[in-house]
Structure 1
Amino acid sequence: MPHAMTEDGVRLYYEESGTGLPVIFVHEFAGDHRSWEAQMRHFARRYRAITYGARGYPPSDVPEDPARYSQARAADDIAAVLDHLQIDKAHVVGLSMGGFATLHFGFRHPARALSLCVAGCGYGAEKGQSEAFKAEVAAVAAFLEQAGSEAFAEKYAYGPTRVQFENKDPRGFAEFKRQLAEHSMLGSRNTQLGVQGQRPSLYDLVDQMKALTVPTLVLTGDEDWPCLQPALLMKQSIPTAALAVMPNAGHTINLEAPDEFNRIVGDFLAQVDAGRWPARDPRATVSSILGMK
């Protein structure tokens, strides 16, 4: 199995297909490298498509110490895969936990990003929700440790922003839940404690967003309630950001509606590749409602 090595000695399993400009897909907490199969097949027709398992997700290594999991490490692990593949710059596409990692990759390694697609990003980000989110993270970690991954999958898969997936595609949802049940209990627990529970609020990162000049697409489902306001924040703060909202869609949008997801992301990448992705016109940020001031 192919693995890339991180700076702190963690082996990350990866897959790649196709040739051309590289695009790397970064999975969510409840997914793994397999979650991107529909994107790997689609984008490998025109790109060098790459995906990998985050630390804690076999066949990647599962460090036992939660201190070896963090938001910064998650972003730097993207760079480690690119380093191993001798790739200087890539399009980076991430969902949820992977969307946070993608955004932080843009902060930490902007020169290495051709573009950023930050999808389904925002859980726990709103100021009034931070304490409740941390409490839920602790509860998830405790449940995983007590009951294991199979029991966890039976509960977590039916969250309020995932039932849309089951309603649209029962067979695809069943595969998602089966793969979730196969995850490492220890890796999932440590990811909750080290990455999810410790990451900074997006609302504390506005200055970094304002300084970001990498072409950025913020993408979310319109029933992914915890991500809607954070998506607007990113759109407003990142001067090179566009916002796309998928209708009647929940959190797992790349699985729930893969054709629409691929079309939106594909159009974004094509504009970036053509050098036609704009920065926001300053005239679009005036305070006047009618533009008469």
Structure 2
Amino acid sequence: MTDNMLFYKTYQHPSSNEWVVFVHGAGGSSAIWYKQIKAYKQHFNLLLLDLRGHGKSNNMFKDMIANPYTFKSVTKDIVHVLNHLKIQSAHFVGISLGTIIIRNLAEIAPDRVKTMILGGAVTRLNTRSQILVKLGNMCKHIIPYMWLYRLFAYVVMPQKNQRESRHLFVREAKKLCQKEFKRWFKLATEVNPIMKYFKEKELSIPTLYLMGANDYMFIKPVKEMVQRHKFSFLTELKDCGHVCNVERPDDFNQHSIDFIKQHKTTYTA
């Protein structure tokens, strides 16, 4: 593993040729998938990544410090790992902002993506979240980033049964430095333009949206998108919020693994 490559960890299956790649959201790390590993590794080979600046990738990309992050550059980091491991194509599982990165990967390299499992998918920032992003963008130079992150975590995951998810993301976000947080925060302002394009252009890749029924900030635009796209499907998880892989792991695992098995022969490398 070189200094310009993301930190990654793999789990090899004794007989399966299918790969599943897990992509976390902003402020998280590959640690958020701890409730998926046991179930998934019984069926597939697994690749877990820490996005640039996150988890154990936080000391990398020193040559990129002066450059702003874009969805394209962050996506190419993942392609670099796939090439390094000689993984031609895979199934991708993402959560929150990681779902946009997966969708962007499918746009620039559709032959690499067999299926997409998009949990707590961000397909559009509503008015409330846009206001929060703008306020945060204005205050990011004067307010400690952890104050902002705790605020956002509470707004997105406000309910009592989402406490574990909030604590997990806040814990992982502490590994980010202030400058790193600012780069990813600025990237969030690009969500609506890129997702408007994705909404208009559907890819013929089987896509499962796994959304908490109580994910009030993001579930409505997902429903609208699924109605427009014939290769997309939505499963709502009851009594569940934004980080559905943590709040309802058994349901998340069952629905996503079944979906991958159903479509694993749709595309071949």
What's the RMSD between the two structures over aligned residues?
A: 2.6
Residues 154 and 104 of structure 1, relative CA distance in 2, 3 Å threshold: closer
The alignment of Structure 1 onto Structure 2 pairs a total of residues equal to: 259
Aligned match of 2:74: 74
**TM-score under structure 1 length normalisation:** 0.78
Aligned match of 1:157: 153
Aligned match of 2:32: 35
Deviation at 1:130, TM superposition (A): 7.9
Answering whether residue 12 of structure 2 is matched by residue 18 of structure 1, we say yes
Q: Which runs of 5+ in 1 are unaligned?
A: 277-293
Describe the superposition over 1:142-183 as per-residue Cα deviations: whole angstroms up to 9, x where unpaired: 36xx4243x445434322x3234xx33756654443233233
- Kindly indicate whether the alpha-carbon contact (under 8 Å) linking 2:100 and 2:123 is maintained by their aligned counterparts in 1: no
User: Aligned residues: percent identity?
Assistant: 22
Aligned AA for 1:141? K
Rg larger for: 1
**TM-score under structure 2 length normalisation:** 0.85
Aligned match of 1:187: 180
- Kindly indicate whether the alpha-carbon contact (under 8 Å) linking 1:58 and 1:184 is maintained by their aligned counterparts in 2: no
Residues 140 and 124 of structure 1, relative CA distance in 2, 3 Å threshold: farther
Aligned match of 1:288: none
Q: Distance in 2 between matches of 1:219 and 1:91?
A: 15
- Kindly indicate whether the alpha-carbon contact (under 8 Å) linking 1:13 and 1:52 is maintained by their aligned counterparts in 2: yes
- Kindly indicate whether the alpha-carbon contact (under 8 Å) linking 1:56 and 1:190 is maintained by their aligned counterparts in 2: no
Deviation at 1:220, TM superposition (A): 1.2
Greater shift in the superposed pair: 180-189 or 222-231 = 180-189
Aligned AA for 1:89? S
Residues 100-179 of structure 1 aligned to structure 2 (within 5 Å): 100-122=100-122, 124-126=124-126, 132=131, 134-139=133-138, 141-142=140-141, 146-149=143-146, 151-159=147-155, 161-164=156-159, 167-168=160-161, 173-179=166-172
Q: Which runs of 5+ in 2 are unaligned?
A: none
Secondary structure of the equivalent of 2:218? helix
Describe the superposition over 1:31-90 as per-residue Cα deviations: whole angstroms up to 9, x where unpaired: 1111112222321121111111111214212542351x1112232222222111110000
Relative contact order (alpha carbons < 8 A, sep ≥ 6): 1 or 2 greater? 2
